[in-house]
Amino acid sequence: MTPLEKIRNLAIIAHVDHGKTTLVDALFKGAHMFRDNQRVQERAMDSNDQERERGITILAKTTSLHWGGYRFNIVDTPGHADFGGEVERVLSMVDSVLLVVDAFDGPMPQTKFVTRKALALGLRPIVVINKVDRPGARPVWSQDQVFDLLIELGATEEQLDFPCVFASAKMGYAMLDMNDASENLDPLFDTIVKHCPHPTGSPDAPLQMLVTLMDWSDFVGQIGIGRIVNGRIKVGETVALVKRDGSIQQHKVTQLYGFEGLSRIQQAEASAGEIVALAGIEDIRVGETIADAASPAALEYVDIDEPTITMMFMVNAGPFAGQDGKFIQSRRIRERLQKELQHNVALRVEDTDSPDSFKVSGRGELHLSVLIESMRREGFELCVSRPEVILHTNEQGEKLEPYEDVTIDIPEAYMGVTMEHMGNRKAEMQDMANEGGRLRLHFKIPSRGLIGFRNEFMTDTRGEGLIHSLFSHYGPHKGELVGRKNGVLISMETCEAVGFALMNLEERGVIFIQPGTKCYEGMIVGEHARENDLVVNVAKAKKLSNMRSSGSDEATRITPPREHTLEQALEYIEADELVEVTPNFIRMRKRVLDTNERKKSEKRSDA
């Protein structure tokens, strides 16, 4: 076991895409964790399939490395505010944070989010200005911006006196001054050893360990991960599990693991200051304390911010239900959601009046869409509704809704259309800056206004715009917002789409499906050019005749369809529509599939 004075526990926090996971890769190489000829994939800590595909960190993960006789326990955290629940928990495990900031962009909105949490816990940041080799990099300016940010967030004098390291994680070097010459990350390791305090606590005190992360193994079942605050823990000994409600259970530790690089190493014993994973406790949950069996005492748990977005998860009741997925019953969906609750602490699941639907609340659209994507990959079929914000009521009876801080980065040419659409969504501009021909705009906007905006924004800016948002506060309800401007094209029957019919429908709007796509009555097949919905026949074939005429044998030419990803579909639909999610298909449909029934329900709602 490593002595307490030689342990350094720290978390890496940053805005998305500022290089956290790449920096962990560089630290592995700098500490010679791998053989010279060992093949190691990029972003080694992003082990989840969705993390690799999306290029973001979703789950907080723990690793450990040795350098210069010291043991560094490092936690890689997500940058998206949607996964802030992961960040808030793991900060209680560490004694300092590496705040990674892009040398060109400076601190961005989600840097603000995670830094506020770290400062509130009294952690002193070590600032790493990353990507100093990037063209147009402004490392000294970025350092000044970090200082301004910490003042804004109410940092103490000690926190404002932060050490700063300039680095290029991709190239694998770090330096204390931009004029220094460096070929490795030793200056960063030295800074961590000097400025990150070693863990407090006593190995001889009664055992206390707070569970902050969860994992699952098919061989040993539930695994709880956390930092031992006091005492020692051994394989085979009996410990007390102090639940959140104060009840106490006795359990036996069957397996104990330490972290080494990308692997878990079995060990017989661990003591205060170490971050470990243990098995043998079936009903373990995040926020519970593993304590000494003779004198159990609970540790304080950091409360997680409440969810702001809610959606309905429903059993797929469409005509194609069960044709694609393995799990379609409400019982299966409920079990899967309950399993998710064990480790996804920012999620909330509630039953509704219907046994076939569940109200699921989370931090944002991305938070919930990652869960939906995981479920469809596991073989689930379900229907989900449009995301809606969670409203609160204050003591005076006023309705309050969540607001977001939005940062938009666009070329100057797209300023007019962006301002117009943000104005339509009740956004208020806070400030504007021109940085090298690109505008950086800051807005306060109701969270409702962002639902469905990102697709529109990317189209308006031809894919050149960047948008980042962060939950700000609950404020006065802004009233009705402008919804989707266009209606949709709806299939009139169960059929297979024909190219000739789709070609003729192009003048009616934008098509979403390919020829040969199986459709059903009530399924959305395109966007209407006008405001109303239109029921169309996508199976209308070309009439055959024995007469030859000019143009009758022309080839069918179809514009490529506008296909939607899961996030785009969730943003696109309106309140009377659903997204049908199966392992191989994402379809949009009306809640009421039958055309006549839909018209009746519309008349009733108008009345």
Q: Residue ranges for the binding site for GTP?
A: 17-22, 130-133
Q: Which long-range contacts (CB under 8 A, 24 or more apart) does 182-190 make?
A: 184/30, 185/26, 185/27, 185/30, 186/30, 188/27, 188/30, 188/128, 189/27, 189/30, 189/31, 189/67, 189/68, 189/70, 189/72
Neighbours of 39 (CB within 10 A): 6
Binding region: 17-22, 130-133
DSSP string of 93-144? Answer: G-SEEEEEEETTT-S-HHHHHHHHHHHHTTPEEEEEEE-TTSTT--HHHHHH
Amino acid at 595: T
Is 88 in contact with 189 (CB distance < 8 Å)? no
Nearest to 40 by CA among 265, 261, 264: 261
The C-alpha atoms of residue 191 and residue 197 are separated, in whole angstroms, by: 11
Rounded to an integer, what is the distance from CA 462 to the centroid of its chain? 24
The C-alpha atoms of residue 394 and residue 367 are separated, in whole angstroms, by: 27
Is 402 in contact with 308 (CB distance < 8 Å)? yes
By residue count, the chain amounts to 607
Separation in Å, CA 176 to CA 18, 68, 144, 197, 554: 19, 19, 15, 19, 70
* E runs forming strands in 2-103: 7-14, 61-67, 70-76, 96-102
Q: In this structure, what token pair is assigned to residue 537?
A: 């026949």
What φ, ψ does residue 207 adopt, rounded to 5°?
-60, 135
